[in-house]
Every structure is written in C-alpha cells, then in structure tokens.
Amino acid sequence: MNHKKMLRKVRTLVLASIAAVSAMTFIACDDEIDQSSRYTFKGELISTYLENNPEQFSNFTAILRQAKIGKNVETSGSVLKTLSTYGSYTCFAPTNEAVEAYLQEQYEKWEQGERTGIDSPYLEDLSDSMALEIAKNHIIERGYKTTDINEGAFPMNTMNRRFTTVEFITNEQGRVYPFLNNSARIIEQDLEKENGYVQVVDAVLNPSNKLLHELIGSQEGFSLFNEAIMATKLDTLLAKYHLDPNYDGNIDAKDLGYELDSEKGSACPYPKELKQRYTVLIEPNELFHSKGINNLDDLVAFAEKWYGTAAKGDYTNPENALYKFIAYHIIDRQLLYSSSTGPGGFIMENYENAEFSSKLNLNQNFDSYEYYETMLPYTMIKVTKPYTNDQLKKEIVINYAQDGGTRIINSEMQEHINVIVERSGTTKKKYPSLADFDQNALNGIIHTIDRIIVYNEDEIAGNIFNERIRMDLSAVFPELTNNSVRWDLSSSSCLVTFLPAGYCKGFEVLNENCEVYYYRPHATLLGSWANYQGDEFIVEGKYDFRYRLPHVPEGVYEIRFGYPKGYYRGVCQFYVDGKIAGIPVDLRWNDATTILIGWSSDEELGDQETIKEYDKAMRNRGYMKGPASIVLEDKEFGTMRDSEQALRKIVGTYRLNKGDHWMRFKDVSDGGTGVNTQFDQDYIELVPTGVINNPLKPEDIY
C-alpha cells in the first residue's frame, strides 16, 4: 500500500472513547487455591520489590537489568527499567535457586550437543541475547492474579510472544498450585504491586523452541502419529513459521504520519508479527491401540477404509489415504483450549474486557460454535461448546452432530463424530505415555482428542454442516488468530489494528485508496450497537475488495452477510466469483433504505402470524432481521433481531463446488476517491438451501 495515501483519519463516528481495560476475573478451578502466600499491597513497584529482596531474586534481577529492549542496544532501556514504570504487568519471578538450576541444566545440554544458547553455568557468562530471551518469557504486559485464569493459558502472551500454559496441581497436603509450561509451580501467588503482580515460580519458564513436528516427535505417546507424519512428509508443513522474515511489527500508523481521531487516544498499530501457526489434533498411542491400530500398516488400512486407495503406498501424495488422514488433523491456526485462556481460543468462551462480555452478549441458552479449515483441501471442522447438552456442555467438541448430537447419516461414523478436545491435565492423567505432555510448540499447539477423527463427505455435508453456517468475518482469516489480532487484549489505549495490504492471504484490496481495520470487541456510545462476538472488520474509503469464502462442503447455499446500517456505508455492488450479484445495494441508514427494507419490530407487529408475514416480506426484498441469539451491548435494547440497524443482506443462491470461491464488494456511490464511505461486515452466513426449504423444520430466528 502507498503509505502517503494513509494521511486521512479513520472516520468511525459511532465508536466510544476507549475505556481502560481491566483485569479479567475468572474462576481458576473448582479447588480452593491456597491464600497464605498472598502479599499485602504496600505500593512498591515490581522492580523495587525484586531489588529489595536479593536473597530471593538477585539472579533474576541481574538478568532483567542485562536484558535490553529495542533495536539500538546503546539507547535501549532494560526490562528491569520497564518494570519500574507505571502500567500493568505480570512478572513470573524465578528464585535464585531456580535460575542456578536452569543455567546448569542448559549448560549440560549444550555440552551434549544441544544448541541451548547457554555455554556456561555461570550467570556472568550469560549473553545479552539469552538474557533478553529469559526476561521476556517472564513478563506479561498486563497484571493477572491466579484467580484471573482458567486451565489452559494466561489470557495474554508474554513479551516474547509466547503463551504461558497453565494447569492446576494439588500436593499431598491438598494445596493447589498453578503449574506453568509443564515445568514451574507458582509458589507465592498474587504479590500485588503498584504496577501489577509478581508470581514467584520455582523454575525458570522455558517454553519449548521446538517446531510442531519436533515437539510431537519428542513425545513417546505420539510415536505412531509421528511415524505417519514423517511418512507423509507433512513434517515439512509443520516446520513453517516465518511467513515474512522482513515483516516489521514495530511500525504503527503514527510512524507514517497517520493518526486516529484524537479521542481514540493513540496511533493505530500494525499487527505485531506475521507468523504461521497450527493446531494439531492427535490420538495418543493408547487410543489407537484400543481400536486395534498398533503400527503404521494398521493405520494405513484404517485410513484407506475412509479415504480410499488412490495413490496407494505413495504416502506423500495428497490423494493418498494416510496423507488425507493426517492432513485432516491439522488446523490452519493456533487454537488454545478456549478464549478465556487467550485471544486464540477454539470458540469465544468467557471472553471479557472492559467493553464486552461473551457471557452477556452471546446468549448461552444456545450452543456456541465456530468453523475452521483443515490442511486437507476443501474441508473444515466444526467446533462446538454444546450448552444445550448436559453431558457435553463443559466440553469443546469437534464435529458435533445435529439434533443435540444424535443425528447420524453413516452409522459407522458414530465413533468418529462428537470428538472431545482434552484438557492438558486430562491428557497427563489419562495416558501413561504422556505424563509429561508438552503441548506448546514454537509455531503452534497440540491437543489430544478422545476419538479417532475422520472426514466423511456424507456425514459432514448431510449432518454436521447441514445447518446455517455463521462465521464472524475475523474467524475467516487465520492470520488474525495466529498473530493475536483477533480478540486482542494487549492494548488499553487503542482498540483498532491496521491491517496492511496482503496481510491476510485470503483478503485482497482492489483499490489502494481504501484501508482495512480490525476493531477488537468493544462497546459504543449508541448502546444498541450490535456486533457478533463484539468485534468489527472495517474497510475505509472508496472500498473495493474481495475475500475467499470458507471451504464448506460442496452444495447449493444461500449467501448472506450481516452488517450494521450506517450513514457512511455507501452503495455496494456485490460480485460472486467475478460475476455481478444483483443490483447495487444502498447500505446507508436513510429514509429510502428504511422504506425499502420494510423493517418493523416484533413488538409492534404483535402476533406470530403477522411477524412471520413481515419476515417473509423482508426476505422477498432481500433482507432478514439480525439473529435473536446475539444480545445487544445494552440489554435494554434486546437482541440483534430487535435492532433496526442490525441486518442480514441476502446476496443470492449459488452452487459452491470444491475449489475457491470469492466475494467482491465495490462501492459504486457517487463521489471520487476521497469520498467518506466505510464498509462494515460483521459476519457471513452460508446456508444450505435444504435448511431454508425444509417445511418440517423451518429455519429459526436465532
């Protein structure tokens, strides 16, 4: 993008001034965490506390002092100095004994040929780069107490862009400890300081620097799955990490002479990084063995039953059954167990900042769900938190069946749907071979599952995906999840992230005079403003862009997009696969569009028959009311269905065959390149026509 064209301000007139983001408050686990080690607030800064307790932290303090932040070492400040500033931090502080043990351990590994970066057991010999690595692994730029976290991970990643995984362990005396990165206990909890919290740990936090295929291969409990990865050579895929080695995440719009409106409080940042990450779902050896799969030949035979015998024996061929089997286990983004443990959860669960709460704004009388593409071409998985199923309501479930999980198309698929994603603590207890399970790789995460997962076209198309598929637009692009843009919690001063042209490979800007922004979940001055999952994906200026539709099962779909009407939305011409889709649509909020759409509130219409007739009339005009399952920011205004502003526009009905399909959105309103238009798409719906036309089970209003 030509940065000289980025000088005009963002014109989002309805957004409120940003509230300071408060610490999240979640229940850590059912057990009571020991309170005896909690520190009484005395007004110290974190840096002062560490320096004032040399008998416990002198080694760690020396590392923080040596670690310099910034490109210019001579002018850069230390991490210790950062912890002397006002703000909000979590500092995992290893004891002197922990640092000494770590240096000795890493030195011994170095002598044995492992490139740990530490070639001496003495602190004074530690290199500046390793000091910085250690320091950044121990700092989160927001203060968290142990009561703020669930099992999974801390909600934000560290300064080193890594998540700190968490499980809760109980000692023989019944005391519950948070256990971090599979290696360190928090032995003194929640020491409250002027600028955050100190969590004292009994070991240095050292998240694995192994890539996914290396981490999988290092764990004996995954030996059979790993053998299949190596046979298919999908290890080369799982070695991908840097998408652009030259990407500079330190730039923001202020550096380019571009600033947000003054009430937003700061410049608009770029995403901090551009990395590729994956999630790998794995059946441990014990699960395979329980199903009679004891070696690679057995696994090949199992895969051929479901995927056929094309390219038989040629495991590196994408048409081979074993290749397909493994590829379907790999998701194109890093997904933590839930969004309450970080911005990249399987679904939005217990997500909360100062401006948005998933518990309040997403009606939990309904199942929560999300859809993700896998590395098996043209396939997706469905992820559900089935609140309506008492047996599964606490679980994350892959490919949850219709009708409360009971409908089955292929009876043999009974054992391969409703697959539960297991918590890391469950994995360690359930599988003896994974007692030391490590799930956090440099470029992604591993989750064990309780059933063998396979892709079957009849079951996926006729059961799992035979429903209204609704996806938040930010869920379509893996780059936003992989780089902590989606559901970002890191900034209390700016809710907007500028997305440079080409950042998302499935999103193309066709007019360089428009700019793309992600708005994290937020509240607004209007009160009745409604966004699915709270966030927005906005294209500003004389917009002309397109994006690839998700790879749903082959079939005929009605395509809809959800949007809030606004005064600056422009007049949009839609295209599907390069062909014009209907006449231009006025997305603005004015008298003409109000009359055309024909919206009336259910309360005004009264009885159900009249409501259904008005819904039908709106559909005939190409519109639908917003979903009744999404609660508005201010409950006084009800749900999206109660909002005249929140609409669904029906683009048309199209056959989506296997392959890529693109939607284009072009502003054709009067005016030149400087016209103040703004496209805001909230979510997309891809609905099989069989769902719409089923007289026995009409599509619901949710």
pTM greater than 0.85: yes
pLDDT attached to residue 568: 80
213-241+276-332+374-464 is a CATH 2.40.10 domain: no
From residue 646, how far is each of 489, 501, 540, 622, 683 by CA, in Å?
26, 28, 19, 14, 11
Find tokens 């571009």 and name the residue: 258
pLDDT attached to residue 214: 97
What are residue 373's DSSP bridge partners?
A: 380
Q: Which of 624, 619, 662, 664 is nearest to 643 (CA)?
A: 624
Structure tokens at 193: 């300081």
Q: Which of 698, 693, 699 is nearest to 653 (CA)?
A: 693
pLDDT attached to residue 26: 26
Backbone φ/ψ region at 430: left (φ over 0), alpha (ψ -120 to 50), beta: alpha
31-207 is a CATH 2.30.180.10 domain: yes
pLDDT attached to residue 672: 54
Find tokens 């539709």 and name the residue: 549
> In 386-424, which positions are buried (b, 16+ CB within 10 angstroms) versus exposed (e)?
bbebeebeebbbbbbbeeebeebbeeebeebbbbbbbbb
| DSSP symbol at 464 | I
Are 196 and 216 in contact, with CB atoms under 8 Å apart?
Answer: no
CA distance 358 to 366: 13
Enclosing H/E stretch for 197: strand 196-201
pLDDT attached to residue 377: 96
Query: CA angle at residue 500 from 497 to 506, to 5 degrees?
Result: 100
pLDDT attached to residue 514: 86
Same fold for the pair 31-207 and 213-241+276-332+374-464: yes
Write the secondary structure of 616-660 as one string of H (helix), E (strand) and C (coil). Answer: HHHHHCCEEECCCCEECCCHHHCEHHHCCCEEEEEEEEEEECCCC
Enclosing H/E stretch for 472: strand 469-472
pLDDT attached to residue 77: 85
The ranges assigned to domains in the chain are 31-207, 213-241+276-332+374-464, 469-692
What are residue 667's DSSP bridge partners?
A: 572
Rg (CA), the chain: 26
Q: Which of 375, 183, 391, 180 is nearest to 281 (CA)?
A: 375
What are the percentages of helix, strand and coil residues in the chain, rounded to 5? 25, 25, 50
The series of mean pLDDT values per 10 residues for the chain, 702 residues long, is 30 28 29 45 84 97 92 68 91 97 95 90 95 96 87 86 88 87 93 95 94 97 98 97 87 54 54 94 98 98 98 98 98 86 76 74 81 97 92 92 85 94 93 94 96 96 95 95 84 76 94 88 61 88 94 97 86 96 90 87 91 94 92 72 91 97 94 68 95 90 92
Q: Which residues contact 274 (CB under 8 A, 6 or more apart)?
A: 242, 243, 244, 247, 249, 479, 483, 503
